[in-house]
Amino acid sequence: MTFRVGIVGASGYAGVELLKLCAAHGDLQVEVAAASGHAGVPVSSHTPSLAAAYPDLVYAATDPAGLSGLDLVFLALPHGRSQELVPALVPEVGVIVDLAADFRLRDPALYPVWYGEEHRAVELLERFVYGLPEIARETISRSRWIAAPGCYPTAAILALAPFVGSGAAVSDGIIVDAASGVSGAGRAPKPNLQFGAVDEDFTAYGLLDHRHTAEMEQALGAQVLFTPHLAPMVRGILATCYARPVIPVGERGALTTQGAMEVLHRAYDAEPFVVVTDAPPSTKAVAGSNCVHLTARVDPRTGWLVVVAAIDNLIKGAAGQAVQCANLALGLPEGTALPNIGAYP
């Protein structure tokens, strides 16, 4: 069966990945690639890597009327834009997968705190489910409205959820220290993302107030101190997460490195896009794939549990996860068109 698809924000990095994944998907046919800033421009001239797959596709203006009747719409827009479109789309399209943060948070009071503005479609928040398949697969498969997780939260939640959820780690004082490639900041030109600014540099940003903190805390039911960093690479996220075991190291029944690895294996060995590895994960190993690589250690000297996750921020952290959710919502095999092997070298 072929499903008619629209991609809004199709000219951005995540939108390009969506076009790429849909081109390899036998059941998803892109009918509309909307990008208001490039309306009328051929996709192949704006992004030459898509020329073979989309020789005749032209960017359309972002107009809800042009999306009416589609089976599936992906929204790959900056935060705040989806709230303007979704009220008009809900009664007109089959499935909506929003890659932005507009419908991720359940509590509308959190939006002015973390995003600096009131939510403009509060009545729709409860309709959306959080689209992390490894955590909420059954819920996603029954939903028509899905809020795909952010890239940093995807890595941190998959790393920590098995420990917090099982009661192996305490839910306060969790630290997430993560680095992302520059593609995580989007395709629009910015002075701080120019080659001369990024090359040979490594910097922290969003100290104490990065907006993804609220998403991590909501999903984990935990208190999180999150510090993101910008790394001089194109794509990838490496998240190093720290938590305290419930039973302190040295006491009877305390968590060990072997026990921590067993927690990850129990949680994820059946998951097609999760690799639990003894070796420290690397961004190179997951680049171009929809996989997350995870490992864990318990330090007997300091008593900390350390969990490390690596993902491709544009695939598992954005477009790939969105397609994974769409597959579930449409009743298709979950892994359809999703790569589980990274590009190397």
Is 290 in the same domain as 174? yes
Q: Which of 260, 290, 298 is nearest to 276 (CA)?
A: 260
Q: How many CB atoms lie within 10 A of CB 265?
A: 14
What residues contact residue 270 under an 8 Å CB cut-off, 6+ apart?
none
Please state, in angstroms and rounded to a whole number, the distance separating the CA atoms of residues 148 and 324.
10
Assess if residue 320 is contained within a domain.
no
Question: 164 and 76: one domain?
Answer: no
Q: Tell me, yes or no, whether 264 lies in a domain.
A: yes
User: DSSP characters for 215-267?
Assistant: HHHHHHTS-EEEEEEE-SSSS-EEEEEEE-BSS-TTSTT---HHHHHHHHHHH
Domain that holds residue 244: 151-312
Does residue 60 sit in the same domain as residue 184? Answer: no
What totals of helices (H) and strands (E) does the chain contain, helices first? Answer: 12, 13
158/294 same-domain check: yes
CA distance 159 to 163: 8
Pairwise CA distance, residues 252 & 248, whole Å: 9
**Number of structural domains in the chain:** 2
- Residue 294 and residue 287: Cα distance in Å, rounded? 14
CATH number at residue 169: 3.30.360.10
- Sign of the C-alpha dihedral computed for residues 42, 43, 48 and 54 taken in this order: negative
Q: Would you say residue 112 lies in a domain?
A: yes
- Give residue 17's pLDDT: 98
Predicted confidence at residue 143, as pLDDT, reads: 97
Residue at 188: amino acid letter: A
The verdict on 11 and 122 lying in the same domain is yes
Q: Are residues 189 and 42 in the same domain?
A: no
Amino acid at 123: E
| Residue 151 annotated in active site | yes
- pTM, two decimal places: 0.96
Kindly state whether residue 322 falls inside one of the protein's structural domains: no
* Among 151, 241, 291, 325, the one annotated catalytic: 151
**Structural element, H or E, at residue 285:** helix 283-286
306/170 same-domain check: yes
Q: Are residues 78 and 171 in the same domain?
A: no
Residue 159 lies in a domain: yes
Q: What is the CATH number of the domain that holds 51?
A: 3.40.50.720
Is the residue at 333 inside a domain?
no
Q: How far is 37 from 293, CA to CA, in rounded Å?
A: 36
Beta-bridged to residue 28, according to DSSP, are 3
Same domain flag for 219 and 279: yes
- The string of DSSP codes covering 73-133 is EEE---TTSHHHHHHHHTTT-SEEEE-SSTTT-S-TTHHHHHHSS--S-GGGGGG-EE--H
Nearest CA-CA partner of 11 in 60, 83, 66, 64:
60
Contact 330, 72 (CB under 8 A): yes
In one-letter notation, the amino acid at residue 318 is A
Identify the pLDDT of residue 205: 95
What is the pLDDT at residue 295? 98
Q: Is residue 271 part of a domain?
A: yes
Query: In 145-235, at which residue ranges do the beta strands (DSSP E only) sit?
Result: 145-147, 174-180, 203-204, 224-230
Would you give per-residue pLDDT tens digits along the chain (345 residues)? Answer: 899 999 999 999 999 999 999 999 999 999 999 998 999 999 999 999 999 999 999 999 999 999 999 999 999 999 999 999 999 999 999 999 999 999 999 999 999 999 999 999 999 999 999 999 999 999 999 999 999 999 999 999 999 999 999 999 999 999 999 999 999 988 888 888 888 888 889 999 999 999 999 999 999 999 999 999 999 999 999 999 999 999 998 899 999 999 999 999 999 999 999 999 999 999 999 999 999 999 999 999 999 999 999 999 999 999 999 999 999 999 999 999 999 999 988
122 lies in some domain: yes
186 shares a domain with 92: no
Quote the distance between the C-alpha of residue 303 and its chain's center.
30
Output the CA–CA distances (angstroms, integers) from residue 74 to 24, 33, 121, in the order listed: 16, 10, 18
The SS3 of residue 147 is strand
DSSP-based three-state secondary structure for 162: helix
Same domain, 200 and 305: yes
Q: Is 109 exposed, middle or buried (0-12, 13-18, 19+ CB in 10 A)?
A: exposed
pLDDT for res 345: 86
pLDDT reported for residue 122:
96
Q: What pLDDT is attached to residue 1? A: 83
Question: Is 114 found in the same domain as 166?
Answer: no
